[in-house]
Chains A and B, each alone.
Chain A
């Protein structure tokens, strides 16, 4: 055994001993950074910074997540399989300028636990330093695995408790508050509930990508019925501040998700719940907002209090809704079927184009006179005057119901 390897082995054994003595990830990171004399950042599998030790004094500020760009490495699992034990290089744009870094994937084949990032260019690392990084990454692998296992158990407990709170599934409020205290929930209301729809295979990643702090307390991230549910404390925020804070939070969250290649994300936000026992209502509202937002293509984020009359549509008896649609639009639906025309589409586009003949004709790729003739036919069939707001409103509502129905038909 040569001298270099001997030093490395000693450090590795010492790090394992320290881990066994209960030292945590920041301590091992410190050991590694001091030994190689360079800044070291340890992240988890979603690039959340767990530890940062900077003996070289670069003075750089590290955010909640490290912008490690692993695009093209084939996703987390495949990446771990391919890259384990290999050093890769990257560049990080900071307020101090562009910083070079070298990173090593911490994981086992098929499972990624995190990354060890060293703030220097690849050429600045000698063989001994690389060996130290690789060996201490094994210690960090054990620490990360232990931490993840504990996190999974904590998440299971949290998911069960949150389910009970959000579905009113508890026997006494006293027991509920007691358990909430044990789980270190901020019991001081009001609260907001955000329900997030992400692809099922990305659920566990998405729940870990949220900001760690909202309004000075930690948000609660949980997974219920294939949705990520986030509970936010709104203590001491005014109505205006709530809107701004929620907007900032969702923007940051969407940014984190996009950076980690989590796509097709939709969010629903319920009305403010004044206390813990009202959370179920806000949760249901958030889910309704989410569903309606998807149906009516309201963008990535839908707020229940901004849904207007649409939220009343689906709670009306289905038979009544069907009859309403038939009464309002039945004649043009039948006419379209019989004559193979597009009157229904025409009226829909006409309303979407704010009743502007020119824009509507352009959108339908027809001549304005053709559009006028179609609108006249619609008026004749329906017996409505398309200049009257009450008639237009009825048509609009009927079209929305039809949209809801078709959305679910082809879901």
Chain B
């Protein structure tokens, strides 16, 4: 398998906050009611006299330096050669160390099994050449999967952070964003004119 680093590319200018990504993930992964591996939050920050709001969809960022992998006492986490961080349920003892150690609070303890679960980037679908549930479900292609190491050639205008969010980058999260454009946060048209990303897979 060639060495890559899979990650997400999120466009806050497109996201409608419809939560289709959350629902597709929950349904596709057969999660118990009320348990979600992805979250959509509304962010707000002030720029001069303007108040800017946008939606942010987040899940496990499959960090280059994953804290969950470092701190799990059962060594239940591993990172594949494509950069996806996987969690082995059979090794998990449900201690919750991963939940507490993750700066993004991505792993959660499933109350029905008492064990931690997290986004696995739908690696089984990926291995079959398909795309993750959340990416496939986004009606406006605000969420895409990318290869972080080759991002510059694929989408050169991306940023590592967005205004209004404090996210410490020491774990090197594998997520990139399109820069915020003032007044363009809510787009109802799923396909923009001259759009170079027609499918969700970069």
Contact = CB atoms under 8 A, between A and B. Distances in A.
B171 A277 contact: no
B67 A315 contact: yes
Contact of B168 (A280, A281, A318): A318
B160 A408 contact: yes
A411 B160 contact: yes
Contact of B75 (A164, A168, A405): A168
Contact of B70 (A163, A225, A281): A281
Interface stretch (B19-27, B101-109, B110-118, B125-133): B101-109
Interface stretch (B8-16, B29-37, B78-86, B184-192): B78-86
Given A167-B79, A404-B168, A317 B65 contact: no
A287 interface: yes
Contacts of B51: none
A287 B65 contact: yes
Interface string A104-134: 0000000000000000000000000000000
A288 B170 contact: yes
Given A409-B161, A411-B160, A318 B65 contact: no
Given A163-B3, A169-B80, A316 B75 contact: no
A225 B5 contact: yes
Interface string A357-380: 000000000000000000000000
A284 B77 CA distance: 13
Contacts of B67: 284, 315
B93 interface: no
B170 A284 contact: no
B66 interface: yes
Contacts, number: 78
Contacts of B65: 284, 287-288, 291
Nearest to B77: A168
Instruction: State which size class the interface on A falls in.
Output: 20 to 34
Given A315-B101, A411-B160, A404 B78 contact: no
A313 B168 CA distance: 9
Interface in B153-184: 160-161, 165-172
Given A163-B3, A225-B64, A317-B105, A292 B170 contact: yes
Given A160-B81, A314-B103, A280 B170 contact: no
B70 A280 contact: yes
B88 to A, nearest CB: 9
Contacts of A167: 69, 78-80
A317 B69 contact: no
Contacts of B101: 315
B69 A280 contact: yes
Contacts of A284: 65-67, 69-70
Contacts of B104: 318
Interface string A303-322: 00000000001111111011
B188 to A, nearest CB: 30
B79 A168 contact: yes
Given A280-B69, A288-B65, A314 B3 contact: no
A50 interface: no
Q: Interface centre among A167, A285, A313, A322, by most B CB within 10 Å? A: A167
Interface in B59-74: 64-67, 69-71
B168 A314 contact: yes
Nearest to A323: B166
Contact of A404 (B5, B102, B170, B172): B170
B103 A277 contact: no
B166 A319 contact: yes
A295 B170 CA distance: 9
Contacts of A292: 170
Nearest to B100: A315
Contact of A315 (B69, B103, B165): B103
5 contacts: A163-B3, A285-B70, A314-B168, A408-B169, A411-B160
Interface of B: 3, 5, 64-67, 69-71, 75, 77-81, 101-105, 160-161, 165-172
Given A284-B67, A315-B67, A408-B160, 7 more contacts: A169-B80, A281-B70, A315-B71, A318-B103, A318-B168, A319-B166, A408-B170
